[in-house]
Structure 1
Amino acid sequence: MLDMRPGCECCDVDLPADAPGAFICSFECTFCESCAGGRLGGICPNCGGGLVARPVRPTALLGRHPASTRRVVKAEGCQVG
């Protein structure tokens, strides 16, 4: 099951698990649409892998299968390359 992290690693904007707008790599690094498509150009700054849209977890299932509450944020922001 995906970790469904609650915020963007670059800008810390909230990314609810039951809403679109989050992008992940194969290691589940998580970014908002603005950072993923903008400064990151669709490439994860951590592993170099591609970023794809994270699936939305239906709201009705969050009670039984909650999203993570652990925020991962880069203090220095995201650096490309």
Structure 2
Amino acid sequence: MALEMKKNCQTCNTALQGDSEAYICVHECTFCSPCTESTNHVCPNCGGELVRRPKKK
């Protein structure tokens, strides 16, 4: 099962390329680094932990 690599931060709508630093939760909610830091690595949608999204090759 592959991750859905979303192309924009769900908070500020910043564009996220495949190699951009981005963070996801278990539900694949996706956020840029500044938005992740502002929520202390907690997903504002589900309350789950935000971790670094793997990079595409």
TM-score calculated relative to the size of structure 2: 0.93
Cα-Cα RMSD: 0.7
**Does structure 2 retain, via aligned residues, the 8 Å contact 1:23–1:51?**
yes
Bigger Rg, which one: 1
C-alpha deviation, 1:41, in angstroms:
1.1
User: Percent same amino acid among aligned pairs?
Assistant: 43
Consecutive unaligned residues of structure 1, counting only runs of 5 or more, are: 59-81
Consecutive unaligned residues of structure 2, counting only runs of 5 or more, are: none
Aligned residues: 56
Higher relative contact order (CA closer than 8 Å, sequence separation 6+): 1
Q: Which has the higher strand share?
A: 2
2: CA distance between counterparts of 1:35 and 1:53? 13
TM-score calculated relative to the size of structure 1: 0.66
